[in-house]
Structure 1
């Protein structure tokens, strides 16, 4: 039975923990997308993907976080992501579960948060790597391309010219952690988060010495979180690669 746990007092500061059906391979911290916008009434996670990962032997800590216009954006969304990750220690202890290797997996804006989390400040809980499912991984490029109808500027409260410090603190493409691998799964027909987001990140990451790669799968932006789609096999393979490296 999934277990809900709050990591703060806001209605959006909670997560749901799913215990693996078999001896656990590790724990996935699953982060949903939505261009950093959302309301307390809506939380998906996405649930079908979480259940599919549980069936393949992964514990899943499926987190919610504050988004615009409900206390999110800069810096609330980043603060919540970091706090939710650290709260996994509390949840696992309360359930007497060994989390094992811990990896982040995120879709779209959640992909941004999953990869950003590798470089989060004041980290205590170690992460072994991240998987981005069509994530927004280069915020300055996203600003220039106006992905999500200007979602990057909305998220960070202004342009990179007005807030260079915010972009420097939030952009995975400039916060590469060389010691932690990143895998990306991206649909070849994605018209929501363009492929250049993944390509730009991989170029920057490899230049910084990180083990980073992208696997292109047939499909659109939502196919990459569909457990019945070939993208799910690509996700499982990415998890195993990171787990093996750990």
Structure 2
């Protein structure tokens, strides 16, 4: 992905000078306040970043990108925006999950990891000073898909291994260059991430209807507000993909906004020193206020 994304981003950098993949990868690791293992695999881990002030704190579930592939990082890099959000008064649950190339990844493992980690937030929320009435999932790229999927889990039928009887309620999703329609937009995602990545993720070879419980577009309406955020120069998931998915969400009866950030590409959205990130914080503040007022 680094070579492909680097080449494509370089083509736009003369006009927009967006953040490079190197700038994204070079972000220092930030230490969490708590590290929780939710399974025996090395990737079955989540980090909790807490504000210094007294709570209860609104919660951000953070899901990193990286094409769902083991060879690309993401968990360490998202610790930078997790630390930034904790400094702004949010409790942040930074989730790692098994990726393709790791034992047990793909279907159903990757999805079960995300679900397990998210539902673990309900363990002793008073001890952690968390306000679970105000929870927003924020995901970047592949993590954007997982955030949208996590908010739709209540629609998954009981016959699926991904079904959960009582999934943690997510109040809104902010998808940062994420993919909501695996079937309809899979070819766009394939350009930087590989032609067979989605097929491997959802097991198209072994399943009759592989998107039914894995693609957020197939799980609408979810009843959850969605905000699709894209950099105007993003070559990985261009802004039209967010507009198209938002249209599907609205058609199904749910609420959806689209935010296109000027001068930004794919990685500006997850580097806390960029103007794009400042805009995203504004979106998060707005949506959290909406939840606080029950709207």
TM-score, scaled to structure 2: 0.76
Could you tell me which runs of 5 or more consecutive residues in structure 1 were left unpaired when the two chains were aligned. none
| Structure 1 vs Structure 2 CA RMSD | 2.2
Which residue does the alignment assign to 2:93?
Answer: 61
Q: Deviations over 1:128-153 (max 9, x none)?
A: 11110100211113323334122222
Of residues 125, 129, 134, the one that matches 2:168 is 125
Q: Could you tell me how far 1:186 is from its partner in structure 2?
A: 0.6
1:20 aligns to 2:51 (yes or no): yes
Q: Deviations over 1:170-194 (max 9, x none)?
A: 1112212352101121111111223
Q: Deviations over 1:58-116 (max 9, x none)?
A: 000101111111121111111111000001122645x4322341111100000000011
* Larger-gyration structure (1/2): 2
In the alignment, is the contact (CA less than 8 A) between 1:142 and 1:152 conserved in 2?
A: no
Please list, as runs of the form range in 1=range in 2, the aligned pairs for 1:183-222 lying within 5 A after superposition.
Answer: 183-217=227-261, 218-222=263-267
Shift >3 Å, 4+ stretches: 22-25, 39-43
Which residue does the alignment assign to 2:202?
Answer: 156
1:144 aligns to 2:196 (yes or no): no
Of residues 34, 37, 40, the one that matches 1:9 is 40
Question: Kindly tell me: are residues 45 and 106 of structure 1, through their superposed partners in 2, closer, same or farther at Cα, counting changes over 3 Å?
Answer: farther
1-structure distance, mates of 2:276, 2:130: 28
Report SS of the residue matched to 1:140.
coil
Report SS of the residue matched to 1:103.
strand
Q: Deviations over 1:155-205 (max 9, x none)?
A: 12237xx74522121111221235210112111111122333212210100
Report SS of the residue matched to 2:254.
coil
1-structure distance, mates of 2:202, 2:89: 36
In the alignment, is the contact (CA less than 8 A) between 1:18 and 1:61 conserved in 2?
A: yes
Report SS of the residue matched to 1:186.
strand
2-structure distance, mates of 1:231, 1:22: 26
Could you tell me which runs of 5 or more consecutive residues in structure 2 were left unpaired when the two chains were aligned. 1-31, 154-162
TM-score, scaled to structure 1: 0.90
